[in-house]
Amino acid sequence: MNLENYFPVLLFILVGIAVGVVPQVLGRLIAPHRPDSQKTSAYECGFEAFEDARMKFDVRYYLIAILFILFDLETAFFFPWAVSVKELGWTGFLVMLGFILEFAVGFWYIWKKGALDWE
């Protein structure tokens, strides 16, 4: 096995570490360091926290977040298809129409169930 083949990988790792570490070290060395009580206090929307950080959220918040991730990932499938639609031909076009139909039916279902309503 020839170790010269791994030189680009080593170089990539070293540059990645340098990009992450060098700005932090430079900031620590160059920037003024004058902490006070206001700078080190917890920041939360401009006012002090009034409840425990482990407070419970409404389940609808998580539902909206999961639905966003689900539909965001499904939408990500449109980009590779759009790039290669010519090579796929009519079969690829019809398969994607089926996917879009499934996408639309799922969106209609969660809309009618009221999952997107926030009271």
Q: Is the pTM of this model over 0.75?
A: no
Q: Is 48 left (phi over 0), alpha (psi -120 to 50) or beta?
A: beta
pLDDT score at 73? 83
Give me the CATH topology for the region 3-112: Methane Monooxygenase Hydroxylase; Chain G, domain 1 (1.20.58)
What pLDDT digit, counting tens, does each position of 55-76 carry?
A: 777 777 788 888 888 888 888 8
Whether 81 contacts 96, CB under 8 Å: yes
Residue ranges per structural domain of the chain = 3-112
pLDDT single digits (tens) 19-54: 999 999 999 999 888 888 777 776 655 555 566 667
